[in-house]
């Protein structure tokens, strides 16, 4: 696996503004396995008041009490932010899907996930970009 240093990224002030302004978060790669980080992070975000929309192609049941969608394109209604728990090489297609939707304001790749080409694509389309940061940790640190 190739490691990249994030050259496009939000600072603490921008992340705080993001976390204060978004309401609906599609979590891409939200596993039904409660031991996975995606579940822990999404559960935390749900508990502090965000509307969580699980996106997981293999699930056919609800996750965290919410209907699961197989793709970002399948979600009806507004998506303010995508929170990505996928391998870096999947981010190009995710950026394309977010651009196609036209309503995603924030492209957030979780801790350990960096793809500068995808981040640039999202930024060029008008999205705010966060890479290699855990949304749960940042929420707790900045808004705790």
CATH architecture, domain 12-143: 3-Layer(aba) Sandwich (3.40)
User: Does 113 or 1 have the greater pLDDT score?
Assistant: 113
Burial of 36 (0-12, 13-18, 19+ CB in 10 A): middle
Could you give the strand order of the β-sheet that contains 51-55, starting from the edge strand earlier in sequence? Answer: 51-55, 24-28, 81-84, 106-109, 128-130
CA distance 62 to 90: 23
- Ramachandran assignment for 142, one of left (phi > 0), alpha (psi -120 to 50 degrees), beta (any other): alpha
Q: Where are the domains of the chain?
A: 12-143
CA distance 4 to 79: 27
Asked if residues 54 and 28 have their Cβ atoms less than 8 Å apart, the reply is: no
Which regions of 19-133 does DSSP assign to beta strands (E)?
A: 24-28, 51-55, 81-84, 106-109, 128-130
Residue-wise pLDDT tens digits, 30-66? 999 999 999 999 999 999 999 999 999 887 789 999 9
Region 22-32: what's the mean pLDDT?
Answer: 97
């Amino acid at each position: 696996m190739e490691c990249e240093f994030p050259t496009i990224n939000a600072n603490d002030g921008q992340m705080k503004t993001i976390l204060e302004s978004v309401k609906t978060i599609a979590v891409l790669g939200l596993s039904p396995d409660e031991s996975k980080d995606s579940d822990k992070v999404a559960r935390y975000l749900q508990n502090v008041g965000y509307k969580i929309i699980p996106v997981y192609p293999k699930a056919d049941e609800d996750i965290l009490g919410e209907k699961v969608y197989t793709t970002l394109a399948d979600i009806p209604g507004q998506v303010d932010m995508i929170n990505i728990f996928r391998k870096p090489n999947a981010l190009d297609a995710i950026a394309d899907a977010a651009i196609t939707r036209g309503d995603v304001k924030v492209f957030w790749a979780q801790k350990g996930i960096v793809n500068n080409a995808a981040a640039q694509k999202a930024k060029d389309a008008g999205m705010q970009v966060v890479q290699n940061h855990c949304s749960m940790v940042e929420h707790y640190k900045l808004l705790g």
